[in-house]
Amino acid sequence: MLAVTCLLLTCQPGKKQQFPLHPPPRGHSLAFSFFRTINLKNLVLQQVLERKNEVLCVLTQKIVTTQKCVISEHVQIEEKCGGMVGIQTKTVQVSAMEDGNFIRDSNVVLEIPAPTTIAYGVIELYVRADGQFEFCLLQGKHGGFEQQRRRNSVLLYPLSFQEFASWDMPDAGQGLSAQDKPLSVLKQATLLLERNFHPFMELPEQQQTALNDVLQAVLLDEELLVVLEQVCDDILSSLSPSLVTLGELKPSQQHNLTTFLRLAGCSVQGECLGSEDVVNNQKLFSTAYFLVSALAEMPDNAAALLGTCCKLQIIPALCHLLCALSHDGVSDLEDPALAPLKDREKFGIVQRLFAAADINLERMQSSVKAASREDPNVLPLILYISLNGLCALGRAQ
């Protein structure tokens, strides 16, 4: 049962907005609310609508402290040093922010006064374009806003990227042995990736080089990579890109984003994306979108490491290495195609990149050995897709 006065909360981490939602009249069931509407012209809601990933929720319950709570924390990290040094224990103190003061190098004690809300219970809402909403009570039903589509729908070139969909699941590797789990699937992907990334190789050399250069700049800018994927996803869904998200970019980032889209087959008017921007080369845009999606899925600092590998011009060697490792997990360093990896500094960068994709790379005397982590998931495949796309795009260089 909802309280007489409910609150709508926008569920964006770190930013919480709230405003009243008129309750149903006494004697009416909760279902009455399904026929009520939300004023989408509300100033707060206008800000929410500009950020497509936010969700409205109805507050149903909350957990409140009834008395003062004190939290103290003290962490110890044990360092082990080999040889004659012995074992040394180092104490690391916790740091925290309280009342605007930064506490460091001392025991941290935080006091939570009463009454303080420490948890919420909410129900997500799905809001239609006309303001009508429904509660997401069933499992698997998510809230959000019905998006306004453009007049000109974008139909992407029917590439066979769908064949990767069944592999993009945590249990996709079930049935494979622990040794084969991360790399054997790459054997199946090789020919498929060569075919899907062929549109890059069909580009004029000047356009291919320009697209490769701007993508390398994107790889070294994590914020821009996230926005680029979101914009491509909006174009794929025939939606207008969020002007707020684009407005938060620096001028150089906006320039790189619009340059990439223009080179990837989009008709962009000026430096700003508008509702009339359309895809005029659907085959090329499909290919670029597939690569950007894979790059955005790479964890931690992997995209930046890929950008470094591009500058070192070792992407073809990494493609060859992964392909060779997919057979038995061992590759010969005497292979001419792997000559760049004999450099220890370059190999160290490659080792960090592969580790981000749950592949442990070990350099032997004259070979390279790969071993999977306990649960590699689909990261080796995502890395292989990224490397093949970058390799195809960088052929001109």
The pLDDT of 241-268, averaged and rounded, is 83
Cα–Cα distance measured from residue 242 to residue 236, given in angstroms and rounded to the nearest whole number: 14
Cα–Cα distance measured from residue 206 to residue 204, given in angstroms and rounded to the nearest whole number: 6
* CB atoms near residue 12 (< 10 Å): 13
pLDDT digits (tens, 9 = 90+) for 59-93: 888 889 888 887 776 655 544 444 444 444 444 44
Name the residue ranges covered by the structural domains of the chain: 6-64+117-145, 69-112, 160-393
pLDDT digits (tens, 9 = 90+) for 122-149: 888 888 888 888 888 876 677 888 766 5
pLDDT at 233 over 80: yes
pLDDT at 393 over 70: yes
Predicted structure pTM score: 0.61
pLDDT at 260 over 90: yes
Model pLDDT, residue 74: 64
Mean pLDDT over each residue of the chain, to the nearest integer: 73
Model pLDDT, residue 7: 44
What share of the chain has pLDDT > 70, as a percent? Answer: 63
Cα–Cα distance measured from residue 352 to residue 305, given in angstroms and rounded to the nearest whole number: 8
Contact 129, 146 (CB under 8 A): yes
pLDDT digits (tens, 9 = 90+) for 316-350: 999 888 887 767 778 888 888 888 888 889 999 99
pLDDT at 300 over 90: no
pLDDT digits (tens, 9 = 90+) for 166-202: 444 333 444 334 444 446 667 667 777 878 888 999 9
**pLDDT, greater one: 216 or 17:** 216
